[in-house]
Structure 1
Amino acid sequence: MPQSRFDRWRAPYAADPALSRGRLTPEDASPTRSEFQRDRDRVIHANAFRRLKHKTQVFVFHEGDHYRTRLTHTIEVAQIARALARALGLDEDLAEALALSHDLGHTPFGHTGEEALDDCMADHGGFDHNAQALRIVTRLEKRYAEFDGLNLTWETLEGLVKHNGPLTTPEGLPTERYRKRGVPGAILDYAARQDLWLDTHASAEAQAAAIADDIAYDAHDIDDGLRAGLFALEDLRSVPFLAGLLDDIAGRWPGLERSRVIHELGRRIITRFVEDGIREGGRRLEALQPKDADDVRRAGHAVIGFSGEMAEADRAIKGFLFPHMYRHPSVVAVRVQADAVVRDLFGRFTRDPDAMPGEWREGLAGAEPSRIARRVADYIAGMTDRYALDEHRRLFDVTPDLR
């Protein structure tokens, strides 16, 4: 069946699945799906994707059924990314595939788990969730007969590692984010096999997925924080952008019940940021006049982003959430306990790899410490919150309840 079966309107600067740079292991084309649709579907069917259901953002899994997990966050990001892509003439399937895969490398217990594991791995190359996501989709998923990983297209892998911008300068030096510790070895190792153009920006689709992540975080962390009682609606008025939205809601529906106010606020946050991203992205693309997706990559700056006004609103929201939510005493107490769980597990497994299940300890007899540590990090990073606590109970006499 000809590739034109999948053709739709795309802007010239959109990634085109018919022009994909392909997969590391060549495969025959699908008669029913484009290359980026296949990538999206492979991510959805991956073990790592299903585990996101029991990995938390800020709250631990038993806090309540209405708080976000990594999976619900990922679904929200995918919806926003598709909306941005559709409005800007981008490939929606690639944007969705990148949104669905962007959190695959996260550890249990949110950023606390990542920070603890990174510290444990300090002498062995560190731990970075973007690099871990790449390891998952290129090595750790073992489902297919012909290859390890998911054998995703170049465009999806490129977007996965570069959705936040270039990793190296044109001279090959690490960018600011990686200047202290260098680009993670997993990314450099893979790029040596398949050049991912680490010194350029990613496609416009990857950039859309990146700002969709920011939009989703801003909206749902406010929603979760309000529902958890970490702060009050009136506290949000310290952020002028949010004060304006609350005034609009109060003016339209005086006396509206609190739960509906919270929902209306979340709707407006998402709408304002999405509409701004579409306008600002359109403005930047019009100024750049890119002839193809590579012109976007070589632009030297992001082409999908917020206007100055909305970028300031984004900073102000994050500035509010940091002390009021991420560093709230009740959350910090759980973070301390979760940090201890990860460090305990890492210490035990590195001292005694045989304490891990058979497939994880296979081939480690006499291995170098760094190889053992990386295997342990892979094992722990793949755990859900619940499984990490179960493993801790199996190995230790006392396990915190994370409350």
Structure 2
Amino acid sequence: MTWDDLYDDAARERIVPEPAKRVPAPVRTPFERDRARVVHSASLRRLAAKTQVVGPQSDDFVRNRLTHSLEVAQIARDLAHPLGCHPDLTETAALAHDLGHPPFGHNGERALNDLAQGIGGFEGNAQTLRILTRLEAKTADADGRSVGLNLTRATLDACTKYPWAREDAREPLGVHTDGVPKTLRKFGVYDDDRPVFDWMRSGVDGPRRCVEAQVMDFADDVAYSVHDLEDGIVAGKIDLTALTEPAERAAVWRTARSWYLPDGDDAALDDALLRMQRVDAWPDAPYDGSRRGLAALKNLTSDLIGIFCGNVQQATREAFGDRPLVRHRVDVVIPGQTALQIAVLKGIAAHYVMQAAGRVSLMSRQRAMLRELFEALAGGAPAALDPQFRRDFSDADDDGARRRVLVDQLASLTDASALAWHARLCGTERR
């Protein structure tokens, strides 16, 4: 069975039909072309200057959104092969999954959601769909409206982690690092992007995610948990040997419950940690920054990724046999113990890195800066906006649509450019 048999004409359809190239070019499949479009996009390049956990300007070693996306893509591609879904399609979804993240990561997302309350909120995944189908310039329809990168239906669907609207999203659980309850719902489409979303989801009943999106989401979870732990260790903020102390573990588990596992009890979390501590590469001494220490740390991350992916591959194959996992036919199976171990690693990073007092204070200043910058842009629009957003602002039909353009402009900025724009437009460069 070929890929053309597994992914039919509807899966390969684009919003705007594209004729054959008029100039000689390498023969590529539709999904290879999709991948190339994302790789060459300006939105992907900007991720190099956007926060992952530690700000990209703080250290050359730690990850930014771009390096994180590359690592997610590698994990997703490696997992796609044994599961039988298209590796190019899955890799493209992984490369694109964070395109919608604003400056300052989830903290910036929180600030923009507050600014966009009256127009349907802000969500990084919904912004990703908006970028891929509207904001990233590549193709226009017959009326001259941008359709973004004009990706195939299957690729867009694979990029959609939350295939539902805001009103259908569940209420968030837990609190932010400053103790404020979380209010940001997870959803995948704004109201004014609903037509392209409905086209993308044609023939799909309900909010079920395609298999390729599930692979991307799991790869993101694995990379997020393992690599953020690694960055925290290298930055000197995490010492895994400290978790041998019961009181230290209890404090970490309290954080894990408030962030990720509201029903997780200490015994289950202790057991999940113990299973990981049995991995040969788990450290028995604090990280010392040496090449030997870094090599050991890299071995640990590789082993954990291999274990998590191997468990999912085995569980999924046991459930569905050898048939290819394509589109909406079956689901990825994540064993409960694997999900718990991933959550434990996330909880460790949250406790030692994301809840640090200095970081909480910095995050408050970042949100205030984005609010001030929004007001400055609103007062200076359209002249204060980038050229492409000036046109969007002038073409907007009402105040809500104009406000969405301002949010689009802010979301497109990197950490560094947000600081520079704030200095220029809010006068801080003269203080």
Q: TM-score, normalised by structure 2?
A: 0.78
What's the CA shift for 1:313?
1.1
Amino acid at match of 1:167: W
Match of 1:227 among 214, 234, 254: 234
Q: 1:241/1:140 Cα in 2 relative to 1: closer, same or farther (>3 Å)? A: same
Mapped partners of 1:82, 1:32: distance in 2: 21
Structure 1 contact 101–160 (Cα < 8 Å) conserved: yes
Does residue 108 of structure 2 align to residue 78 of structure 1?
no
Mapped partners of 1:351, 1:243: distance in 2: 56
Mapped partners of 2:38, 2:168: distance in 1: 29
What's the CA shift for 1:362?
3.0
Structure 2 stretches of 5 or more lacking a match? 173-183, 250-269
Mapped partners of 2:348, 2:114: distance in 1: 27
1:296-335 to 2 correspondences below 5 Å = 296=330, 303-335=331-363
Structure 2 contact 210–328 (Cα < 8 Å) conserved: yes
Q: 1:305/1:332 Cα in 2 relative to 1: closer, same or farther (>3 Å)? A: farther
Secondary structure class of the residue paired with 1:107: coil
Match of 1:249 among 280, 283, 286: 280
User: Which residue pairs with 1:185 in the alignment?
Assistant: 191
Q: 1:200/1:29 Cα in 2 relative to 1: closer, same or farther (>3 Å)? A: farther
Does residue 133 of structure 2 align to residue 104 of structure 1?
no
Does residue 343 of structure 2 align to residue 345 of structure 1?
no
User: Which residue pairs with 1:390 in the alignment?
Assistant: 420
Q: 1:192/1:206 Cα in 2 relative to 1: closer, same or farther (>3 Å)? A: closer
User: Which residue pairs with 1:362 in the alignment?
Assistant: 391
1:120-139 to 2 correspondences below 5 Å = 120-139=115-134
Match of 2:295 among 260, 265, 270: 260
User: Which residue pairs with 2:406 in the alignment?
Assistant: 376
What's the CA shift for 1:112?
0.7
For 1:266-296, what per-residue CA distance to the aligned partner results, in whole angstroms no more than 9, with x for missing partners? Answer: 1122111111111122123239x78964433
Mapped partners of 1:176, 1:48: distance in 2: 28
Amino acid at match of 1:23: R
Does residue 37 of structure 2 align to residue 42 of structure 1?
yes
Structure 1 contact 17–35 (Cα < 8 Å) conserved: no
What's the CA shift for 1:206?
1.7
Amino acid at match of 1:174: D
Q: 1:202/1:260 Cα in 2 relative to 1: closer, same or farther (>3 Å)? A: same
Mapped partners of 2:345, 2:389: distance in 1: 41
Amino acid at match of 2:423: R
Structure 1 contact 218–314 (Cα < 8 Å) conserved: yes
Secondary structure class of the residue paired with 2:237: coil
What's the CA shift for 1:96?
0.6
Does residue 325 of structure 2 align to residue 295 of structure 1?
no
Mapped partners of 1:252, 1:98: distance in 2: 34
For 1:61-106, what per-residue CA distance to the aligned partner results, in whole angstroms no more than 9, with x for missing partners? Answer: 2201111011000000000001110011111011011111111111
Mapped partners of 2:282, 2:384: distance in 1: 61
User: Which residue pairs with 1:23 in the alignment?
Assistant: 14
Q: 1:346/1:235 Cα in 2 relative to 1: closer, same or farther (>3 Å)? A: farther
Secondary structure class of the residue paired with 2:329: helix
For 1:123-159, what per-residue CA distance to the aligned partner results, in whole angstroms no more than 9, with x for missing partners? Answer: 1211111111111111111234665300001111112
What's the CA shift for 1:186?
4.2
Mapped partners of 1:61, 1:90: distance in 2: 33
Q: 1:350/1:322 Cα in 2 relative to 1: closer, same or farther (>3 Å)? A: same
Which range moved further: 172-181 or 278-287? Answer: 172-181
Mapped partners of 1:398, 1:155: distance in 2: 46
What's the CA shift for 1:258?
3.3
What's the CA shift for 1:367?
5.5
Q: 1:330/1:269 Cα in 2 relative to 1: closer, same or farther (>3 Å)? A: farther
Which range moved further: 196-205 or 136-145? Answer: 196-205
What's the CA shift for 1:227?
1.2
Mapped partners of 1:46, 1:398: distance in 2: 31
What's the CA shift for 1:323?
2.3
Q: TM-score, normalised by structure 1?
A: 0.84
Structure 2 contact 56–63 (Cα < 8 Å) conserved: no
Structure 1 contact 81–209 (Cα < 8 Å) conserved: yes
Amino acid at match of 2:37: R
Amino acid at match of 1:70: R
Secondary structure class of the residue paired with 1:20: helix
Does residue 85 of structure 2 align to residue 90 of structure 1?
yes
User: Which residue pairs with 1:300 in the alignment?
Assistant: none
Which range moved further: 236-245 or 109-118? Answer: 236-245
Structure 2 contact 376–426 (Cα < 8 Å) conserved: no
What's the CA shift for 1:219?
0.8
Structure 1 stretches of 5 or more lacking a match? 297-302
Mapped partners of 2:46, 2:140: distance in 1: 22
Secondary structure class of the residue paired with 2:63: coil
Match of 2:321 among 273, 286, 298: 286
Which range moved further: 243-252 or 339-348? Answer: 243-252
What's the CA shift for 1:240?
4.5
Amino acid at match of 2:353: M
Structure 2 contact 212–327 (Cα < 8 Å) conserved: no
Q: 1:379/1:292 Cα in 2 relative to 1: closer, same or farther (>3 Å)? A: closer
Amino acid at match of 1:357: D
Structure 1 contact 98–206 (Cα < 8 Å) conserved: yes
Mapped partners of 1:86, 1:362: distance in 2: 43
